[in-house]
Amino acid sequence: MGPFPLEDTFGMAAAIVVLQLSLKPGKYASHLQFGSVRKLRAALSNVYHASVEGQQATVMAKDTRKLVVTKCPTYGEFFERFTKGMHKRMGEDIRPDKAISIQLMKELSSQLEEEWESGTSNKLRVSMEASFYLIAFCCALRGEEVPLADLFGIARYWLDGERHVTPHVIIPLIGRFKGETGEKTLYLCSVAVTSHGLEPRKGIERLLEIYHQNGIRNGHLFRDAHGNKMKTTHFEPSFLDRLNCIKNERPDLMAGVEDVYDEFGILRSLRRGATSETVNQGAPPDVIDANNRWQKVMKSGASHPSLSMREHYTDVRMTLDHRLRFSMAL
């Protein structure tokens, strides 16, 4: 069984650091959750492999597959068992964002429509908020993906959507997506008016008119005064404030909700609500997958990042009717 060297070769020091980190206060409890603490393992591993010791790792390759043989302590048997035991003892307090129901989304849209008609609020802010929420809901996008909407691309295909037998709006997203490498161009689409009366095309049209009046014709759809892309966190406070206002005025739409600021979030609530509603409306799984699992489609080879914007759009038009069925059910 020994003797062992008089140094830490098991990863005990890394385990102690992880335990110390877990004692810090978290968002929902007096300590951090396991999902937050485990990220430190990746950081420690990266530091090791960037050091002199890490350069001694052996790489075995065959065709496109690779196998790395390393002596990194956080990859060892001890640390693996430590992590598993820690997870079992800590458990996890997972609180995903609650879904926005279609009734709640309609009330939110009505609230923004009243502000627009009254003329007392900043029209740019109101139209930008309305466009953000409608795009996120009707296209079932994560909050961080909505700011990738491209102003020039939307305007470029605006008339095509108006002339189609099913009026719609094309929403190009350009940028870096989660889990993807490099810049990607993604085309999503939504009907002009959904079955429950949501009007994403109308909301986006108001925003485009304001931009055109100010001579802005390209760049990010959601931009600040300097033309820089807005972050999702810019919209979240207003989003939660509006939901809280609806909770006070229409408690029937918020049954079972105790704290809006704790239970809802702009990152996932709109996407989860849209997906749930299409399931309730009986939309086929292939319709939902075509809209929500676009990354899977891209990786299968159906879409190539080297295509031009026009070629991407031509590819989307071939399946446009099928794609529109998702937002039509909302």
User: All domains of the chain, ordered by start, with CATH?
Assistant: 12-90 (no CATH), 102-328 (1.10.443.10)
What is the token pair recorded at 104?
A: 């709640």
Say yes or no to pLDDT of 130 above 60. Answer: yes
Does position 154 have pLDDT exceeding 60, yes or no? yes
Residue 150 has pLDDT above 70, yes or no: yes
pLDDT digits (tens, 9 = 90+) for 35-73: 889 889 999 999 998 998 888 888 888 777 888 888 888
Cβ 233 vs Cβ 143: under 8 Å: no
95 Cβ contact list (under 8 Å, min separation 6) = 28, 262, 263
* pLDDT of the residue at 313: 64
Q: What is the mean pLDDT of the chain?
A: 86
Please say if the pLDDT value at position 142 is more than 70. Answer: yes
Find where tokens 């892309």 sit: 229
Per-residue pLDDT band for 178 (boundaries 50, 70, 90) equals low
Number of helices followed by number of strands (H, E) in the chain: 16, 4
Cβ-contact 323, 290 below 8 angstroms? yes
240 within 8 A of 267, measured Cβ to Cβ: no
Going by pLDDT thresholds of 50, 70 and 90, the confidence category of residue 204 is very high
Q: What is the pLDDT of residues 249-290, one digit of tens each?
A: 998 988 888 889 888 999 999 999 999 999 888 888 888 887
Query: Tell me, what's the pLDDT at 169?
Result: 93
| Residue 284 pLDDT | 84
Helix 269-280 × helix 123-138 angle, to 10°:
50
> Whole-model pTM?
0.80
Question: Which pLDDT belongs to residue 294?
Answer: 54
**Distance of alpha carbon 215 from alpha carbon 212, whole angstroms:** 5
Tokens of 277: 């509603």
Burial of 153 (0-12, 13-18, 19+ CB in 10 A): buried
Residue 303: pLDDT band by 50, 70, 90 thresholds?
very low
